[in-house]
Amino acid sequence: MRRARIAAVVLAFAAALIGPAVVSPAPASAARLVRVDELSPTRSAIFVESAAMGRTIQVQVLHPAGGGSRASYYLLDGLDPGVGQSTWTNATDAERFFSGRNVNVVLPVGGQASYYTDWIHDDPRFGRYKWETFLTQELPPIIDAQFNGNGVNGIGGLSMGGNAAFILAARHPALYRAVAGYSACPDTAMAQGAVMFSVANRGGNPLNMWGPPGSPAWAAHDPALMLEQLRGKTLYLSTGTGIPGPHEAEIKPQLAENIFLGGPVELGVNLCTVAFEQRLRAAGIPARIDYSPVGTHSWSYWQDTLHASWSTIGPALGA
């Protein structure tokens, strides 16, 4: 036991000296396109057999009706993703917003509490999670081949998906030109307690993701420790303050949840965003940060910031 503790300390010390690992894009994997369902002239569902996860994953794609090459914007869901479709298309006007824009919007379906990462152990609740491998190695060649992708990629997401977007961009810097986080906290160490609680609250074992807190895998998934890998990319973050705003004046079933749960959560996101911006500024890395004096952790605000972000993200992708 004593030797094991010493070994763990040595590994942690070595990781601190070397810094978090930067993962380079890997060659195309053995993932296989099973089928394509054309839901409309500008929306398709593809089903991809993931070798990494050992199952078939649905991904929906918003795309132009015509031909021509275009960039791809991977848009990730939150902690509780939609069933059958991304919540982006279920709870926002994303489909209408991107209509006529020359870009593929790639919407993975599933991945509850996954943080879109490769878990180090299979989980009794969630099974095998290898979302990083799926999103960065297996899926891009299929998207480019099926939807005229030109190899230019951006990635964004809300809350959990926004954290993951920054993590994936920092770990795969050659893959993405632009990164967006809507109400996201890209400082993994600062969000550690919330991350572990969110996984446990959905029935998973957070230790199966990156191991115990303080282990090298946590540092290797912390964009705040990998800022150099974000340099040169177009970065966007948005946050409210948790104070009820105009969307809380709307009568809707989730109003109480938005105020009493989404308010405190968004306040935490705000504090994290301020801290992350300070790190970026200290490193001389520019970013667009949209701070709102009001706003809860809820979909109406994410629709607003999706719209607002596109004047930054779109040009970076040539879209």
Task: Mark whether 297 is an active-site residue.
Answer: yes
Residue 267's alpha-carbon distances to 67, 107, 128, 165, 240, in angstroms, are: 44, 27, 33, 20, 7
Neighbours of 22 (CB within 10 A): 14
Annotated catalytic residue within 29, 99, 257, 292: 257
Give the Cα separation of 130 and 121 in Å (integer). 10
Contact 218, 192 (CB under 8 A): yes
DSSP assigned state of 247:
G
The helix/strand/coil state of 105 is strand
Kindly state the helix (H) or strand (E) to which residue 4 belongs, with its residue range: helix 2-18
The torsion angles phi and psi of 79, rounded to 5 degrees, stand at -60, -40
DSSP assigned state of 120:
S
Annotated catalytic residue within 159, 238, 300, 309: 159
Tell me the two tokens of residue 67. 């031909």
Annotated catalytic residue within 44, 297, 298, 300: 297
Q: What is the CA radius of gyration of the chain?
A: 19
Neighbours of 312 (CB within 10 A): 16
For the chain, count helices (H), then strands (E): 12, 9
Task: Mark whether 300 is an active-site residue.
Answer: no
Task: Mark whether 121 is an active-site residue.
Answer: no
Give the Cα separation of 271 and 242 in Å (integer). 11
Residues acting as catalytic residues: 159, 257, 297
